[in-house]
């Protein structure tokens, strides 16, 4: 894990890290794109180009033509800038302790301490302050999407019943698909001529793939999805997380095959089925965990809450009894009386940040401070098991899959609408 450069390239890919040489910093910083009342400068653009080229080399992916790469990088930067502008208008921010926690978690996932991460960045010529600022931007965008998209997704009882009935009718069906995706987006008010042009572009991409181009390369060259420069990979999706259009298409494929061009309200799509794996037959991995929660409110700031939880963690590491410390300190009135024990938890039953850390912990390991909308937590995993879902858990699982699918669809629509409604002017020839 101390192969620092590939590790840094991977991080840079995920969070959009910026880097620029000293010679570039001396150049006149012209405006490349106007985005509403803000601008993207040439120095920012050049940093991103360098970062993307590094990432492509690390993946051994062929670099697309310069004009294609420039367009993809700028469109990604425009989308991010628009979302940050919306977050600013809505007053969405991220506390400093949340950023610090994200950095510690990122370092820990790669078996590095925070000082080791800082040293690794310095050796690679990357400013830690810039790195931290971009972590902050991604956290802000995540909160924005949770507020404006995810929180507004409703799942009806009828949808859950339909999902469960479909599962019962297909007991032997493959339940999980690893797929890649190319999107040719179509504006909401597009004319018939514009739609035809976009359909032709999608067909060109498909023809290139069928003539031997790697799907990843076609995604880099053609896709307008946010993950285009990563080759369009969506990873593993449960069947219920896929739009009906996608699921119907991939069911007909064998691994390695590609769909025809598919049409949805968002535009035109091409999918590649990479792998499949069987369903669990209603069996899920449950985790029994306990936690200590310190809430932050008008009487206790986020920083003070984090300081309190850090002191409690130090007591635990020194041999303190988790149950007794939970009873004495935790602000969770339900679990504190049981020594912080949350019982057996199914996937999707805790908030995202809590779940992500919990699933990475070893049994008996005490987490770093974890910030969620409820406050700051310490988590310990007590046991894990594979368990057949009962009716209530089955409905919960169905709800989570449907919500994930609808959230993905709404996000694409929401981001496209933001882009269409924004004033974006490219100031450089060729874009």
pLDDT band per the 50, 70, 90 thresholds, residue 20: very low
Distance in angstroms (rounded) separating the CA atoms of residues 291 and 393: 22
* Neighbouring C-beta atoms of residue 220, cutoff 10 Å: 24
Q: Which residue has the tokens 């450069």?
A: 5
Q: What would the mean pLDDT of 183-197 be, rounded to a whole number?
A: 91
Backbone angles phi, psi at 81, to 5 degrees: -65, -40
pLDDT at position 196 is: 95
| 3-class DSSP state of 152 | helix
The C-alpha angle 174, 175, 179, rounded to 5 degrees, equals: 90
Structure tokens at 185: 């987006």
| 3-class DSSP state of 227 | coil
For residue 65, the 8-state DSSP code is P
Cα maximum dimension of the chain: 70
Question: Does pLDDT of 32 surpass 80?
Answer: yes
Distance in angstroms (rounded) separating the CA atoms of residues 373 and 430: 44
Question: Does pLDDT of 29 surpass 90?
Answer: no
Round the CA-based radius of gyration of the chain to a whole number and report it: 23
Residue ranges per structural domain of the chain = 4-148, 171-281+393-422, 283-388
pLDDT at position 390 is: 67
pLDDT band per the 50, 70, 90 thresholds, residue 194: very high
pLDDT at position 174 is: 54
pLDDT band per the 50, 70, 90 thresholds, residue 15: very low
pLDDT band per the 50, 70, 90 thresholds, residue 202: very high
The C-alpha angle 410, 154, 143, rounded to 5 degrees, equals: 55
**How does pLDDT run across 314-341, given as a tens digit for each residue?**
999 999 999 999 999 999 999 999 999 9
pLDDT at position 8 is: 40
Question: Does pLDDT of 273 surpass 50?
Answer: yes
- Pairing assessment for the beta strands 375-388 and 283-294 based on DSSP bridges: antiparallel
pLDDT band per the 50, 70, 90 thresholds, residue 6: very low
Q: What is the rounded end-to-end Cα distance, in angstroms, of the chain? A: 40
Higher per-residue pLDDT: 415 or 388: 415
What order of strands is seen across the sheet that includes strand 375-388? 341-345, 283-294, 375-388, 370-372
CATH of domain 4-148: 1.10.4030.10
Q: Which residue has the tokens 């061009």?
A: 261
Question: Which candidate, 204, 269, 195, 286, places its Cα nearest to that of 234?
Answer: 269
| 3-class DSSP state of 318 | coil
Distance in angstroms (rounded) separating the CA atoms of residues 165 and 158: 10
Scanning 3-113, the segments in alpha helix (DSSP H) are 4-15, 22-25, 42-58, 66-89, 96-109
**How does pLDDT run across 220-253, given as a tens digit for each residue?**
999 999 889 989 999 888 888 899 899 999 999 9
Distance in angstroms (rounded) separating the CA atoms of residues 160 and 399: 6
pLDDT at position 235 is: 87
pTM of this structure: 0.70
pLDDT band per the 50, 70, 90 thresholds, residue 108: confident
Averaged confidence pLDDT in the chain: 85
Question: Does pLDDT of 23 surpass 50?
Answer: no
CATH of domain 283-388: 3.10.50.40
Q: Which residue has the tokens 């035809």?
A: 196
The two domains 171-281+393-422 and 283-388 share their CATH topology (first three levels equal):
yes
CATH of the structural domain 171-281+393-422, one choice from 3.40.30.10, 3.10.50.40, 3.10.450.40, 3.20.20.30: 3.10.50.40
Q: DSSP secondary structure string, 102-137?
A: HHHHHHHHTT--HHHHHHHHHHTT--HHHHHHHHHH
Higher per-residue pLDDT: 197 or 131: 197
Q: Which residue has the tokens 């769909």?
A: 259
Scanning 229-351, the segments in alpha helix (DSSP H) are 244-250, 302-317, 322-329, 333-336
Scanning 240-390, the segments in alpha helix (DSSP H) are 244-250, 302-317, 322-329, 333-336, 352-360
Question: Which candidate, 232, 246, 221, places its Cα nearest to that of 182?
Answer: 232
Residue 65 exposed, middle or buried by CB count within 10 Å (0-12, 13-18, 19+): exposed
Distance in angstroms (rounded) separating the CA atoms of residues 140 and 11: 17
Distance in angstroms (rounded) separating the CA atoms of residues 154 and 150: 9
């Amino acid at each position: 894990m101390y192969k620092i450069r590939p590790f840094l390239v991977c991080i840079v890919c995920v969070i959009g890290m910026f880097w620029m040489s000293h010679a570039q910093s001396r150049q006149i910083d012209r405006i490349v794109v106007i985005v509403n009342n803000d601008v993207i400068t040439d120095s920012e653009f050049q940093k991103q180009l360098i970062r993307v080229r590094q990432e492509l080399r690390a993946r051994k992916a062929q670099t697309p033509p310069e004009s294609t790469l420039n367009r993809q990088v700028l469109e990604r930067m425009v989308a991010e800038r628009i979302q940050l502008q919306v977050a600013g208008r809505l007053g969405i921010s991220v506390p400093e302790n949340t950023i610090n926690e994200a950095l510690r978690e990122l370092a820990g996932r790669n078996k590095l301490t925070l000082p080791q991460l800082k040293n690794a960045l310095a050796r690679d010529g990357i400013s830690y302050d810039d790195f931290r600022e971009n972590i902050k931007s991604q956290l802000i965008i995540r909160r924005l999407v949770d507020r404006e998209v995810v929180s507004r997704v409703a799942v009806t009882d009828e949808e859950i019943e339909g999902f469960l009935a479909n599962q019962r009718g297909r007991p032997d069906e493959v339940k999980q698909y690893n797929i890649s995706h190319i999107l040719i987006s179509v504006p909401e008010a597009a004319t018939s001529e514009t739609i035809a042009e976009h359909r032709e572009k999608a067909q060109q991409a498909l023809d290139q793939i069928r003539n031997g181009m790697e799907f990843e390369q076609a995604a880099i060259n053609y896709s307008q999805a946010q993950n285009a420069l990563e080759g369009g990979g969506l990873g593993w999706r449960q069947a219920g997380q896929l739009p009906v259009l996608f699921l119907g298409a991939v069911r007909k494929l064998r691994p390695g095959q590609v769909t025809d061009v598919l049409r949805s309200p968002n535009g035109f799509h091409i999918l590649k089925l990479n792998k499949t794996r069987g369903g669990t037959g209603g069996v899920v991995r449950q985790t029994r965990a306990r936690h200590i929660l310190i809430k932050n409110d008008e009487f206790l700031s986020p920083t003070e809450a984090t300081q309190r939880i850090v002191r409690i963690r130090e007591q635990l590491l020194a041999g303190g009894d988790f149950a007794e410390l939970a009873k004495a300190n935790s602000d969770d009135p339900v679990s504190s009386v049981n020594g912080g024990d949350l019982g057996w938890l199914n996937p999707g039953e805790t908030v995202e940040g809590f779940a992500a850390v919990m699933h990475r912990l070893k049994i008996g390991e005490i987490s770093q401070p974890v910030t969620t909308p409820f406050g700051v937590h310490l988590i310990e995993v007590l046991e894990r098991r594979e368990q057949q879902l009962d009716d209530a858990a089955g409905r919960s699982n169905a709800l989570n899959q449907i919500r994930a699918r609808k959230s993905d669809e709404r996000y694409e629509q929401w981001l496209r609408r933001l882009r269409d409604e924004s004033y974006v002017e490219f100031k450089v020839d060729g874009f």
